[in-house]
Structure 1
Amino acid sequence: MRFPRCAAAFCLAVLFTVSHVPTALAGTELRDVHVVAHFDRAAGQAAESIALEPDGGVLIGMIPARQVVRVARDGSVRVLVTMPLPPGGGGTTPVVGTPVVTGVARSGAGEVYFLYSSGAGGMTGIWQVRRSGGPRLVVPLPADAFPNGLVIDGDRFLVTDSTGGRVWQAPVRGGRASVWSADPVLKPAGFFGANGLKVHAGAVWVSNSDRGTLLRIPIRHDRGSGPAEVRARGLEGIDDFDFTGRGDEVLAAVNQASELVRVSSGGRAETLLDADDGLQGTTAVRVHGNRVYLTNGANLAGDDPNLMIGELHHPHRT
């Protein structure tokens, strides 16, 4: 697959309001969903992940473009970094066969971190976007790993490894990574296992794409991992997810089906948005207050990778 260079990597969208009538389960609704930025799929800009900034900006990892971009509140987009190809072009990247940027995270102090899977030792790992604009390797990971989801948990990083079926941990200051959990339920079943990642209510939550599960791994008092438990099933192709603020309720991006799914605290799932609403290869979701940010990678279906924003409503909330 070729990704030709494109100076105009993306364009602003005309406001596009989804015509989908909001569905509700226990009162949850998603309204006023619209596209705020389109990206250039031909240039490899398949939007993969989301991190939010205090001023309303959105940081997004672009998979085969090997980029981190920033979408400002007004919809303007700027490339923060483009990763170089590894020696030989990176054909040894696990499963996908091409180097990719995946998860992004922002620290409270404003540092921007991202994951690069290159299939090469010394390049695969956690990187930082330096204020000067160049990338800096903070934590190397094995060449056969596929780092995918990234969060900052206090003074440490947590990273899912989709091909290794593991969660890694490493100090934010930099250094060596160690395996935090290698519970068997994290393993892939032919393609991607552990994928999305969040820390919530004393536990690390992980999605397993191949097995269609949402997992909860308790954090022990020594910050180690307890045994994983399956909290939801039947979500084949689940990618990233986030909590809505109503207990353990989550919104999940289901990549293969191009859906945004609400999963109740009890594990019951209902589709809120789908391809009829413009979703194409949905990859990531972030919730901030009542605002929902959603990326479509268009990597498995469609040709319009984009960033959407909507409003989350809980009519029966007391």
Structure 2
Amino acid sequence: MFTMVRFKIWNGAAAFIAAAVAFAAPATAQPRIDLSAVPHQVGAFEPLSSNIIASFEEGNFLESVIVLSSGDLLITEIQSRTIWRVDPSGARAPFHQSDIQPVGLAVDIDGQIVLSGSTADGNAAIFTFKDDGALDRTILIEGAQFLNGVAFVAPGQLLVADSGGGLIIHVDIESEESRIWSSDESLGVHPDRSPLLPGVNGLKVFDGAVYATNSSRTTLLRIPAIGLDYRAGSPEVILQDISFDDLAIAADGTIYGTTHIFDSVVRIEQDGSVTTVAKTEQGVAGSTAAAFGRRAEDRNTLYVVGDGGFYLDPENPAPANVVAIGTDEPGLSLEASFSHIDYPNMEPAARMTMVRCMTVPGSDERRRAVAPDYDRFLKLNIARIAFAGEVYGDGREAELTARLYFMHGLDEARAEGIMESSPYLIEGVYSSCDAVPFDAMPGSIAWPDELSRGR
């Protein structure tokens, strides 16, 4: 059972949030962060093909991006408190706009959209949405400082970076309970660097581990997710002296990072070598987040959003762009990001035969008359019938068109022989019953619910 906890307070968190979210700090003629004091390796510049697919006017702050199964992008814009829906051609429309302060986005395996941010009165929270953009639920995260990047470590199990508190928090979306997942010192801010640089920031899951950026410490961390409860292992610094905001991971493990204040996108090979693949001239000024496409035609496309340099220099921002960058490898699929999930008690799926019995239109009176005998027929064959159900041609308000019976341990001839004795077939409720082989795929019968949820 998870417990609600109060998180430790980071001195200066309120000031950081005011600067990072409300942008109340006055504009100055010089950038607000001394870049010379922030270690950042860039490697060789090898630009990839790119295309600006959408452009928001100066002063917009595009903070996070996810790609839906439809191919559309969802993008948070902090200034107007809007989540935009943008299709790959660049057409856009508001998905959700309210007094919520939107920050980080993630999508679960079932399509559930979640957002990190804060309520109108400034309380840190996780929000869930319906498919049409309507707010579904608000899950308050008591004591959190500044919720930022989010990623699912398992279906329904969310990790969220608290950039102000230097924590990663685990949230069970169904129970709405939260706990500290990791409070390792490596997640906190660097004591000698600008307070405008957040601590743990972007999160992604790959090959049984959580990859986390720390913008203040200019590090990329790998944190193992251990066991069926996905507890945090010890963080390992796998790259340092590089200023990442968010990251996206390709199927082969190649990492693409957005550098935000350094106006670029950087590729990290598996051997640790660094290459800059896009800069301001490619439209990625103030690059904040990235996500790979999910359709066959754009799986090799990296979508990058940014703030046009607004955060670094609010007096001189460029347009905030959505840029499509062509890469040489497809992105990590959502399914593959859960490759670490194990089901030790999973049972083999049963081999079955499916029988489809077609219903005669207008046979309701006959069906009611013979229903008691049919009910007895089902009970006498209950050991053979795994499950059965009704099929409607056009929704449940339409007329019943067929019934399906899934039988185990029987071949097609034997299954049809049993159905020849069905009172529904004998009395003309069914016009015919035909059997075909059916190989059951894993489902709730093979994967008990508590295992499919990773408990």
Q: What TM-score, normalized to structure 2?
A: 0.56
Measure how far apart 1:132 and its partner are. Answer: 5.7
Q: Residue 118 and residue 268 in structure 1: after superposition, are their counterparts in 2 closer, same or farther (change >3 A)?
A: farther
Does structure 2 conserve the Cα–Cα contact (< 8 Å) formed by 1:139 and 1:177? no
Q: CA RMSD in A?
A: 2.2
User: How far off its partner does 1:228 sit?
Assistant: 0.1
The equivalences for 1:1-318 within 5 A come to 30-31=48-49, 33-42=50-59, 45-84=60-99, 100-118=101-119, 120=121, 123-131=123-131, 133-153=133-153, 154-189=155-190, 190=195, 191-221=197-227, 222-236=229-243, 238-247=244-253, 249-288=254-293, 289-298=299-308, 299=310, 300-301=312-313, 302-313=317-328
Unaligned regions of 5+ residues in structure 2, if any? 1-22, 25-43, 294-298, 330-455
Amino acid at match of 2:239: A
Contact 1:80 1:129 in 2 (8 A): no
CA distance in structure 2 between the partners assigned to 1:143 and 1:66 by the alignment: 22
Q: Partner of 1:185: helix, strand, or coil?
A: helix
Whole-Å separation in 1 of the counterparts to 2:307 and 2:167: 24
C-alpha separation in 2, matches of 1:164 and 1:268: 31
CA distance in 2, matches of 1:268, 1:233: 12
Contact 1:260/1:271 (8 A) holds in 2: yes
Asked whether the equivalents of residues 48 and 325 of structure 2 are also in contact (C-alpha less than 8 Å), the reply is yes
Letter of the 1:253 partner, please give it. T
Partner of 1:16: none
CA distance in 1, matches of 2:164, 2:271: 28
- Where do 5+ consecutive residues of structure 1 fail to align? 3-21, 86-99
Q: Report sequence identity in percent.
A: 26
Which range is displaced more, 171-180 or 124-133? 124-133
Single out whichever of 288-297 and 105-114 deviates more from structure 2: 105-114
- Residue 213 of structure 2: SS of its match in structure 1? strand
Q: 2:256 is aligned with what amino acid? A: L
Structure of greater Rg: 2
* Mapped partners of 1:50, 1:280: distance in 2: 16
1:130-162: CA deviation from partner (whole Å, max 9, x where unpaired): 346432444211355211101123220110110
Comparing both structures, which one devotes a greater share of its residues to strand?
A: 1
Q: How many Å separate the matches in 2 of 1:227 and 1:285?
A: 26
